[in-house]
Amino acid sequence: MHQYDYLIVGSGLYGAVMAHELNKSGKKCLVIDKRDHIAGNIYCEDIEGIHVHKYGAHIFHTSSKRIWDYMNQFAEFNNYINSPIAIYKDELYNLPFNMNTFSKMWGIRTPQEAKDMIAKQVAETGITEPQNLEEQALSLGGRDVYEKLIKGYTEKQWGRDCKELPAFIIKRLPFRYTYDNNYFNDRYQGIPIGGYTAVVEKMLEGIEVRTGVDFFEFRKENPDIAGTTIFTGMIDEYFGYQLGALEYRSVRFETEVLDCDNYQGNAVVNYTEREVPYTRIIEHKHFEFGKQEKTVISREYSSEWKVGMEPYYPVNDEKNMKLYEQYRELAEKEENVIFGGRLGGYKYYDMDKVVEAALDKLEDIQNGMN
């Protein structure tokens, strides 16, 4: 006899959706998280009355009505539209690359003028078979867009020169020949009113949750506590890194309270020159149109990841994907354990995709095929 039907390791979005649905269908669940709070990476800390996105800025966006309706059970969403700004030296551009960007860069007005300018600059590079990311970006967008908006930012993100990065990282450049600064193409977008932590709180209502509890310690004392474990931590850590560690890129945040009500006039400002050490500054209040007297900003520094650090972005190159595949094979043999979420699946998932993955897995469980 087990005390719980399910032990859910991780109270991030994946774990919370699983717990919510399983609880709803009458299963007894226990959720544990090694952090001292729930909500995983979408956790927001309240500073000066502002929801500060502690693990990076999160904007919910989806094209799926099913997922949008699902999320709207737990919160109403505001009408925030992500429209980042890029700063290169003393020049300021709208993102994503659109007519506002091109007009500012070249003093032009029409889509045809922009297309002609890009085609001219692409032709000038003379690159036909790009050998690295720099050549790829130049051959797709020409010199100005590459040097002012892509080069420095990408080099900071990857911690390497664009000439040393593979061309396949950039498949195409999302040029938009309209005056439209909306970063996402999705039908639905917004920030939950009340913040993300409240969404997860609502998902976990009526479910036993223990924070500050690490699975690997907990398991020693409670090996048979649940019939099934849903594990959303790192898959390689679960197996004691026996085949080696999967690689990640990490991000360091420097958060500061400022004694002014509006620092940069936009939630997201990218710094695209290499000499500025951070990649972006996030001003959190603008996600929720905040009117507080003070403001909170976070500078984001992209960094190398080492075991023990916060893992953010999986490095989905050939070497790591091969290693992941081996861990996945081990995972399949593990009885009564379901691996999921961004760390369990070693995959970059946007929030809508992680909710979708959880709902799909629940269907499998219902159909008796874990």
Residues that bind ligand FAD (CB under 6 A): 9-15, 32-35, 40-42, 56-60, 214-216, 232-233, 251, 312-313, 341-343, 349-352, 354
Helix, strand, coil percentages for the chain (3-state, nearest 5): 35, 20, 40
- Look at strands 188-190 and 60-62 and give their pairing: antiparallel
- The least CB distance from residue 57 to ligand FAD, in Å, is 6
Q: How far is CA 252 from the centre of its chain?
A: 14
Closer CB to ligand FAD, residue 42 or residue 105? 42
Q: Which of 283, 300, 352, 356 is catalytic?
A: 300
Q: Which of 91, 348, 360, 364 is catalytic?
A: 348
Q: d(Cα 302, Cα 107) in Å, to the nearest integer?
A: 33
- The least CB distance from residue 230 to ligand FAD, in Å, is 10
Q: Which of 35, 93, 176, 283 is catalytic?
A: 176
How wide is the angle at C-alpha 226 spanned by C-alphas 222 and 231, nearest 5°? 90
Locus of tokens 């938009």: 176
Closer CB to ligand FAD, residue 108 or residue 362? 362
Closer CB to ligand FAD, residue 99 or residue 235? 235
Helices (H), 222-296: 235-238
Inter-residue contact 332 to 319 (CB < 8 Å): no
User: Can 280 be counted among the known catalytic residues?
Assistant: yes
Q: Which of 88, 280, 312, 346 is catalytic?
A: 280
Closer CB to ligand FAD, residue 152 or residue 233? 233
Closest CA relative to residue 287, chosen from 94, 96, 59, 84: 59
Locus of tokens 């900071």: 156
- The least CB distance from residue 93 to ligand FAD, in Å, is 20
- The least CB distance from residue 322 to ligand FAD, in Å, is 22
Q: d(Cα 273, Cα 202) in Å, to the nearest integer?
A: 42
User: Can 241 be counted among the known catalytic residues?
Assistant: no
Q: Which of 36, 129, 172, 293 is catalytic?
A: 172
- The least CB distance from residue 270 to ligand FAD, in Å, is 13
Q: d(Cα 286, Cα 85) in Å, to the nearest integer?
A: 13
Task: Write the burial class of residue 251 (CB in 10 Å: 0-12 exposed, 13-18 middle, 19+ buried).
Answer: buried
Q: Classify residue 148 by its DSSP letter.
A: I
Q: How many residues are listed for the chain in this entry?
A: 370
User: Can 324 be counted among the known catalytic residues?
Assistant: no
Q: d(Cα 231, Cα 59) in Å, to the nearest integer?
A: 25
User: Can 176 be counted among the known catalytic residues?
Assistant: yes
Q: Which of 219, 249, 274, 328 is catalytic?
A: 249
Closer CB to ligand FAD, residue 30 or residue 162? 30
User: Can 329 be counted among the known catalytic residues?
Assistant: no
User: Can 273 be counted among the known catalytic residues?
Assistant: no
- The least CB distance from residue 238 to ligand FAD, in Å, is 8
- The least CB distance from residue 9 to ligand FAD, in Å, is 5
Region of 21 please: left (phi>0), alpha (psi -120 to 50) or beta: alpha
Q: d(Cα 268, Cα 84) in Å, to the nearest integer?
A: 5
Backbone dihedral angles phi then psi of residue 175, each to the nearest 5 degrees: -75, 135
Q: d(Cα 145, Cα 326) in Å, to the nearest integer?
A: 40
Closer CB to ligand FAD, residue 145 or residue 199? 199
Closer CB to ligand FAD, residue 148 or residue 286? 286
User: Can 91 be counted among the known catalytic residues?
Assistant: no
Report, as residue numbers or ranges, the catalytic residues: 172, 176, 249, 280, 300, 348, 350
